[in-house]
Amino acid sequence: MEKQDVLIEICNQQTIDGESEKIEMRVYGTICALDDGFLVEYTEYDEDARPCRTTVRAVGDSMVSVVREGDCGGEMLFETGKRNATVYNTPYGALTMGVYTKYVENTLCANGGRLHFCYTTDFHAQAGIENRMTLTVSAQESEKK
């Protein structure tokens, strides 16, 4: 399948103990149609300019997998109505994390679209953190990466 250059707007809102924090960024990446969904890939950089490659695979309105490669990374699986366990690696060590997905909304197509999912995370059975992640993908002539 052919990759399309895209602009990706990412919005992640976390709510912990009633306090919300929103992180927004824009990155260039690619989208590619698969037999059963879409693959979105992009690279972001941390405050020390270290790269983190992220691959998002969306299948319908029921499943999203996110693979992050870099100093902080791992694989997270989001399935509507299910809780999955994962290991999230950080420069300070690995964290075991539970991920419960409330819902997935997927309107991605070959030219872009929107992927929105809501989930809670918990670490070592501590109180959950609510997360709302939205990726808005639009076809563009991207700058060379």
Residue 51 lies in a domain: yes
Residue 144 lies in a domain: no
The DSSP letter of residue 109 is B
18: left (phi over 0), alpha (psi -120 to 50) or beta: left
pLDDT in tens, 1-34: 689 999 999 999 999 888 999 999 999 999 999 9
Task: Quote the CA–CA distance of 32 and 89 in Å, as a whole number.
Answer: 27
Q: What percent of the chain has pLDDT over 90?
A: 63
Residue 72 lies in a domain: yes
Q: Residue 16: give the domain boundaries.
A: 3-139
Task: Quote the CA–CA distance of 3 and 109 in Å, as a whole number.
Answer: 12
Please tell me which residue, 132 or 145, carries the higher pLDDT value: 132
CATH of the domain at 90: 2.40.128.20
* Whether the predicted pLDDT of 143 surpasses 70: no
Closest CA to 33 of 6, 72, 71: 6
Please tell me which residue, 104 or 139, carries the higher pLDDT value: 104
* Whether the predicted pLDDT of 145 surpasses 70: no
Residue 42 lies in a domain: yes
* Whether the predicted pLDDT of 79 surpasses 60: yes
CB 108 within 8 A of CB 40: yes
pLDDT at 125: 63
Please tell me which residue, 58 or 73, carries the higher pLDDT value: 58
pLDDT at 138: 95
Residue 18 lies in a domain: yes
pTM of the predicted structure, to 2 decimals: 0.86
Residue 102 lies in a domain: yes
Residue 126 lies in a domain: yes
Per the listing, tokens 């690696």 go with: 89
Averaged pLDDT for residues 91-95: 82
Averaged pLDDT for residues 115-124: 90
Residue 145 lies in a domain: no
pLDDT at 60: 87
Q: How many domains does the chain have?
A: 1
